[in-house]
Chains A and B, each alone.
Chain A
Amino acid sequence: MDIESYSLLLSAFLFAVGTAGVLLRRNAIIIFMCVELMLNAVNLTLVVFSRSLGVEAQVLVFFSMAVAAAEAAVGLAIILAIFRHYEVVDVDRFNLLKW
């Protein structure tokens, strides 16, 4: 197996960990970090493919990182606001918005 296959396997593993974390954890900060993990798994995939398919994929990675940074700023602000209100960050407690 060459380096690309290992890298793709690692990326798939990271993505699976992130997904499992988002689905299973309740702490908003952890979920948030897991989302970052999923994003970076995808970034890794893109970088791997850029070796064979050209440099455009690396440009996409920069976009993704910039968007992730913005998303982190907004998301953390939301979590902070929720924490100030409820004094917890357990997402199962935030269930008012439903039928």
Chain B
Amino acid sequence: MIQKRNFAHRIVRGRLLVALLAASSAVGVLGITTAQASASSRSPIVLTETSYYTSVASNGAIYTALNTVFSNFEKTHPGITIKREDIVNSGNSYLTAVAAEAAAGNLPDVLMLDNPTVPTLASYGELTPLSTLGPTAIPTLGAAQQAEAKFNGTIYGYPLYTNTIALFYNKAMLAAAKIQPPTTWAQLLTDAKALTNAQHYGIAFSGETCAGCNVWTFIPFLLSNGGSLTHLTTPQSVQALALWTDLTKEGAIDKDFTNWNQGQPEAEFAAGKAAMMINGPWFFPTLNSVKGLSYGVVEIPVNTPGQNVVGPIGGEVWTIPKSNPTIEKAAYELLNYMAKPSVDASLATASGDIPTVQSALPTWQKTASPLYAPLLAELKHGFVRTSTLGVLYPRVETAVGNGIVSALIGKQTPAAAFATAQANVNSILEGN
């Protein structure tokens, strides 16, 4: 449906453009190029925008915040209108729909992507290298986002807001057990054990192999300890996995967690069935609305004190699929508008994330909850998932995820599980 509409729409728009160009040249309006025509807002341009924010009910404030941003942009840029063609993301449906649009040559003019998928689309030549359109807003972003925006050295999008994961804890439960939030793995293990009783487990987090599930949660443990997604057999990597298997062996986590994505841990924590959980700030609004729940957020514990917590960098990247210079230029103007400090701060606030435009941080911090402090600290050493793996990240994620689950269910020892996973990762890296 969306594709068809898009297609028809493109034809109409294409013809309109040709007609307008013909008319303008006939009248003898010279001295403006097609690109400038859009900049001067003479010809009506319709930009199609696609994100997975489809409603307030499913995505909260960011849905309406985008509407506000777009209508403000339309006011300051007469001649450009934005048409939202959003796609629901359930499981992998958003990416599948985008792949289908790309195959049919019907990508929207402005496309939001989850950050690990940008290299995949860029590698097919579907995205416009942004520096070809003019100076980019990339230098205004944080260092990690500057890296995240690039694939093979070319800038393909603006990561306008970011997030990561941290350790949430139920204040009442920890107080009852006279426990301070853990800062080391040893403390995490003993505390999680001590916090496990008939009413609740010590901790909850995602253990299922899926995009943004167990590997995403595992990255802080793996990388803070000096392990690596591509060097899984090192002692540092195996130690991290052994911590997780110890948590299951001690019964400190619901064994069903190998079947959990990000949603179930939040449900357990909100229902008081888990004293701690590892999750992200996108759950702050829901958790704040839970009656009687008082929670705190701290950095994820490290193996030995002094290690830096490495947070996996989450968030969405705004890109411009290839179309024609006029459209691309208009889309570029929209992206630059969204990267203005005040606009960026409003988008980050609405999505429950952290702005990436550095000058927007002070404004944002004035109103942001103190719960974000540990997230900000972790992002100082943030890990861009696609930085070295690029297009291979999703497959490596699956291979590592399966290794994690294999150890968690006791099918293999942590060392053996990661030896198997390493063989699979090697095979992927070799191009099989």
Do A and B actually bind? Answer: no
Interface residues of B (CB under 8 A from A): none
